[in-house]
Amino acid sequence: MRRFLRYATGSRALVATLVILAGAAVADPGAALNLVARVQSYRLLDDIPYGDGPREKLDVYLPDHAEAPRPLIVFFYGGRWSSGEKANYRFVGAALAARGVIAVIPDYSLYPQARFPVFLEDAARALRWAHDNAKRLGADHSRIFLMGHSAGGHIAAMLAFDQRWLSAVGLSPSSDLAGLIGLAGAYDFAIDSDVLRGVFGAPANAAASQPLRYVTRDAPPALLIAGEADTTVKPRNTRALAAAIDAAGGEARVIYYPGVTHREIIGAFSPLLHFLAPVADDVMAFVDAKRARADDTKERRVGGRDGDAK
């Protein structure tokens, strides 16, 4: 167990910190955000195996001095199913822990070493680990959420809507998940590149890989967030999934942030970029409510009128 709790005081420390952050932001934006995460207060359990595979390890971020039981979020990062490291998202775990949430961030198998659906099987085992260890971590079993960004949003949505993956590890989306949090997730996309064809394999897998195909009325409630300036995973993915949930009689809250891009959605978890969009605050409002009202399937523009994203 590691604990990060450091404070910088005085103008010299502030100037030095800004210089370091500026340099890190040029070389690696994620590194700069993680530098800030290191001065936040939390406890870290790192590199915990949840399976036998070389990438089946996870990190746990525990709130410092938080009273149990706490909500727990399992977060899957993005990277087009072919890149990413849990350590790069320390700023997400730190932000959640600072708000009293236990955050679990797993690595999972990536292309080309693995193809669909291996990363879904990994993700299901990571959730099983979180479920089995919830009490020891001080988590509330009735408040376990899945959250994902980009390709990680696809993974989280597949676990939440396609019951096969959680059933394989003895869990059920309807009874073992309090909710799904999708951040600019890929829910309705064409497999139209060499990389995606490699990730998802045979044409028969094209339809089977789309989360909105599996939406049912008894699926866990969802918070779906997208940036209107996202050209990587366009907001139509979010609109399509929200429409499928609505058609099935399910529960969803949809938020679009004007002018916010794909990377800014996840970067806004950091105190450095929180001004871009209140992503962490909106996630916490959803978590604190635990379940959205049945009639709360609606869209909201932050700082604007309700309506479709462009």
Q: Does 309 fall in a domain?
A: no
- The pLDDT of residue 224 is 99
* In the predicted structure, residue 285 carries a pLDDT above the cut 60: yes
Q: Does 46 fall in a domain?
A: yes
pLDDT in tens, 49-59: 999 999 999 99
pLDDT in tens, 156-186: 999 999 999 999 999 999 999 999 999 999 9
Report percent pLDDT > 90 for the chain: 75
pLDDT in tens, 256-269: 999 999 999 999 99
Q: Does 11 fall in a domain?
A: no
Q: Does 5 fall in a domain?
A: no
Q: Which residue has the higher pLDDT, 155 or 22?
A: 155
User: Which candidate, 290, 292, 274, places its Cα nearest to that of 101?
Assistant: 290
Cα 245 vs. chain centroid, distance in angstroms? Answer: 19
Domain extent at residue 70: 42-301
Number of domains the chain contains: 1
pTM value is: 0.86
Q: C-alpha angle with apex 196: 190 to 202, nearest 5 degrees?
A: 85
- The pLDDT of residue 206 is 86
Q: Does 35 fall in a domain?
A: no
Q: Does 16 fall in a domain?
A: no
Q: Would you place residue 8 in the very low, low, confident or very high pLDDT band (cuts 50, 70, 90)?
A: very low
Strand order in the sheet with 139-149: 2-4, 42-49, 57-63, 102-106, 70-76, 139-149, 179-183, 222-227, 252-257, 298-301
The arithmetic mean of pLDDT across residues 212-233, rounded, is 98
Sole residue written with tokens 């207060």: 41
Range of lowest pLDDT (81-85, 104-108, 304-308): 304-308
- CATH number of the domain within which 268 lies: 3.40.50.1820
